[in-house]
Structure 1
Amino acid sequence: MSAQIHPSAVVEDGAQIGEECVIGPFCHIGPKVVLGRGVTLRSHVVITGQTTVGDDTTIFSFAVIGEVPQDLKFKGEETRLEIGKRNRIREHVTMNAGTDGGGGVTRVGDDGLFMAGCHVAHDAQVGDRVILVNNSALAGHCIIEDDVIVGGLSGVHQFVRIGRGAIIGAVTMVTNDVIPYGLVQAPRGVLDGLNLVGLKRKGVSRADITALRAAFQMLAQGEGAFAERAKRLGEETQSDYVREIVEFILGDSDRHFLTPG
């Protein structure tokens, strides 16, 4: 009863609207949508499908959330989109539901910022505090870990993993996995260093940053194949941050890695 719904909005029977929600003019909410407490929809927002939006999320005008995936294999099966709490989803953002072949659910974590014109495709798994800058796009089945920034006009290829704390520069095409805390730039995505600014802002200790820089040099110039260097690095390091990179490299992947130039 505490929700505010503009008279011009269409809220279909079956939709669940949380307390203190604000639904602006000309929004359209489908019958299987669940909005948490305090969700704000500006004007002309479309939310459809089996979509859940977490508490205190704000969605701006002309965003289309929960539509069917842009995948020719999709045949109308019941799939979902789950969006976490306190996200800011700006104008013209699109987020699609999952597919049976990809697990059936697209997930977005908490406290993200999705700037104007961004796209999150089917079955993507997006962590917490992720920032997608204007007109960037995630293809299907991507895994984007916590605290990642994807620069404006950049694209991430399907099945690519981007590790925690990595940053992708503007106008970059990322076709292979990116190690945690990596810095990727150039039109065809080159692993060009570490996200040192992000590490310092996070308050990571000088000792860990030094260990990460040494680890990057070993991955770039050590003997043996990339995976062999990572395994040897894991046996030698005392840094939890370096171990995180090693575990990421030795984990399951559907793509090759961007390796240091």
Structure 2
Amino acid sequence: MSMIATSASIHPMAVVEDGAVIGENVKIGPFCHVGPHVVLGDNVELLAHAVVTGRTTIGKGTRIFPMAVIGGDPQSVHHGGEETTLSVGDNCTIREGVTMNTGTADFGGKTIVGNNNLFLANSHVAHDCRVGNHVIMSNNVMLAGHVVIEDRVILGGGSAVHQFTRVGRQAFVGGLSAVSYDVIPYGMLNGNPGLLGGLNVVGMTRAGVDRATIHVVRRAYKAIFEGGGSARDNAAAIREEYADCEQVMHILDFIAAESDRALSSPTRGAKG
């Protein structure tokens, strides 16, 4: 049996299947389809023709625009119909044609999207992804399976992120870029193949990082990518020196963490 709050507004031409849970003040427009295992939090709004299916939970205040399909099966040959899930956080904006898939059983079965994110038209979040908070995915951005996007990342239009790749907090990825390797926190990556081109100073400034700290992070960046050893060895070597800088420690911890992908750099993948 469905649990539908009395304050919810459901257009008579929408389909809400038996078993769905609909919170307070939810608005469901015409020709929407809500599946039987869906939970819509308070103040969620589905505009006309939006589809929410699968074992999907949508957080309070999220808006889903026409032709979005949220909670579809993973696009993976390994998916055998298992009951995997998608969780979308609070106050997200999911624009026209966006697709988000549930997870796959072999990798925990969960796709997780955080709060206050903006997904522009036709962007895609694949199975088993982890998307943080305050993320912006521009039009036609594609995340392959198992991608990790940390907080406050901005992905430019048409960019594509390879499976199992990580993009660190507050990084910026330029439009049409191919992200084949991990991108450090606060990094700026552009091109195909994507090359690390320095730090996202504009983003850091907007986030309230002071100029003196930005200079410290710049020095650490040069030590990591212009030092005599590998980037990972250089990062390990400067850890003690920069222990009192939170932003540098974010970068060093990111580099030290285990990953299935190599690290983006100013030269890795460069042509010529």
Partner of 2:115: 110
Instruction: Give the residue type in structure 2 aligned to 1:88.
Output: T
**Cα deviation code 1:83-111 (max 9, x no counterpart):** 00000000000000000112100000000
Deviating 4+ runs (over 3 angstroms): none
- Identity within the alignment, %: 52
Partner of 1:231: 236
Q: Does the 8 Å CA contact 1:133/1:150 hold for their aligned counterparts?
A: yes
CA distance in 1 between partners of 2:226 and 2:44 (Å): 50
Determine whether 1:69 maps to 2:74: yes
Q: Does the 8 Å CA contact 1:28/1:46 hold for their aligned counterparts?
A: yes
Matches within 5 A, 1:103-252: 103-237=108-242, 238-252=244-258
Q: Does the 8 Å CA contact 1:219/1:260 hold for their aligned counterparts?
A: no
Instruction: Give the residue type in structure 1 aligned to 2:232.
Output: A
CA distance in 1 between partners of 2:222 and 2:55 (Å): 46
CA distance in 1 between partners of 2:116 and 2:68 (Å): 18
CA distance in 2 between partners of 1:192 and 1:224 (Å): 19
**Cα deviation code 1:187-226 (max 9, x no counterpart):** 2110001000000001102221011111111112111111
Answer with 209-218 or 115-124: which moved more.
Answer: 209-218
Tell me how far 1:260 sits from its aligned partner: 2.8
Determine whether 1:32 maps to 2:37: yes
Question: Structure 2 length as normaliser, TM-score?
Answer: 0.95
Q: What is the DSSP-based 3-state SS (H/G/I as helix, E as strand, rest coil) of the residue aligned with 1:234? A: coil
Instruction: Give the residue type in structure 1 aligned to 2:225.
Output: A
CA distance in 2 between partners of 1:203 and 1:105 (Å): 33
Instruction: Give the residue type in structure 1 aligned to 2:93.
Output: R
CA distance in 1 between partners of 2:204 and 2:149 (Å): 17
Instruction: Give the residue type in structure 2 aligned to 1:233.
Output: I
Q: Does the 8 Å CA contact 1:216/1:260 hold for their aligned counterparts?
A: no
Q: Does the 8 Å CA contact 1:121/1:141 hold for their aligned counterparts?
A: yes
Determine whether 1:55 maps to 2:60: yes
Instruction: Give the residue type in structure 2 aligned to 1:19.
Output: E
Matches within 5 A, 1:74-85: 74-85=79-90
Answer with 72-81 or 233-242: which moved more.
Answer: 233-242
> RMSD over aligned Cα, in angstroms?
0.7
Partner of 2:260: 254
User: Structure 2 unaligned runs (5+)?
Assistant: 1-5, 268-272
Question: Structure 1 length as normaliser, TM-score?
Answer: 0.99
Say how many residue pairs are matched: 261
Tell me how far 1:186 sits from its aligned partner: 1.1
Q: What is the DSSP-based 3-state SS (H/G/I as helix, E as strand, rest coil) of the residue aligned with 1:219? A: helix
Instruction: Give the residue type in structure 1 aligned to 2:27.
Output: V
